[in-house]
């Protein structure tokens, strides 16, 4: 069954001086402020589209990796993924870096690296972001 998720953005004013908010429609996750300054300089407690992409990508990758490991008979004890999304004003998103540390009983570091690489390629968010270079650092702990 296909699913559809919703979010909405409201913006007031010009790009540089304006401000807005993004609302995630699932449960009580709420509304988050956004500004150009948070996107192009320091966040100062305000989010950006790139931070939301990083959140989605790290979550999707963790889920894909966990599923692949479990299906191969090696469910992970833990999977911790961080994503960094680079934004260059005037150019756009220029790079994404995934970094994963996981505890997976019964596999070698080489096997883990292979599972991680396949999860990076197969994760639906990675698929949607193919236009951007995505690197991966994988560590079995």
Residue 112: per-residue pLDDT: 98
What domains lie within the chain, and their CATH numbers?
A: 7-40 (no CATH), 49-140 (3.30.300.20)
Residue 24: per-residue pLDDT: 86
Residue 5 pLDDT exceeds 80: yes
Q: Give 141's strand partners.
A: none
- Residues 77 and 105: beta-carbon distance below 8 Å: yes
Residue 114 pLDDT exceeds 70: yes
3-state DSSP percent of the chain in helix, strand and coil, to 5 = 35, 35, 35
**Sheet containing 78-88, strands listed edge to edge, beginning at the edge strand earlier in sequence:** 78-88, 92-103, 134-140
Over residues 69-104, the pLDDT tens digits come to: 999 999 999 999 999 999 999 999 999 999 999 999
Residue 30 pLDDT exceeds 70: yes
- Alpha carbons 9 and 116: distance in angstroms, whole number: 33
Residue 73: per-residue pLDDT: 97
Nearest Cα residue to 35 out of 50, 27, 46, 22 = 46
Residue 26: per-residue pLDDT: 75
For the entire predicted model, the pTM comes to 0.92
Residue 46 pLDDT exceeds 70: yes
Residue 27: per-residue pLDDT: 64
CA separation, residue 57 to residues 66, 75, 119 (Å): 14, 21, 11
Percentage of the chain surpassing pLDDT 70? Answer: 99
């Amino acid at each position: 069954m296909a699913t559809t998720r919703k979010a909405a953005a409201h913006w007031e004013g010009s790009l540089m001086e304006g401000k807005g908010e993004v609302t995630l429609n699932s449960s009580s996750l709420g509304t988050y402020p956004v500004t150009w300054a948070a996107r192009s300089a320091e966040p100062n407690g305000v989010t950006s589209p790139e931070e939301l992409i990083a959140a989605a990508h790290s979550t999707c990758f963790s889920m894909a990796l966990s599923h692949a490991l479990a299906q191969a008979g090696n469910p992970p004890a833990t999977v911790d993924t961080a994503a960094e999304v680079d934004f260059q004003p005037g150019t756009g998103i220029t790079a994404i870096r995934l970094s994963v540390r996981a505890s997976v009983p019964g596999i070698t570091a080489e096997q883990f690296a292979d599972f991680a690489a396949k999860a990076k390629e197969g994760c639906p968010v990675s698929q949607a972001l193919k236009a951007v270079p995505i690197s991966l650092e994988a560590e079995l702990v």
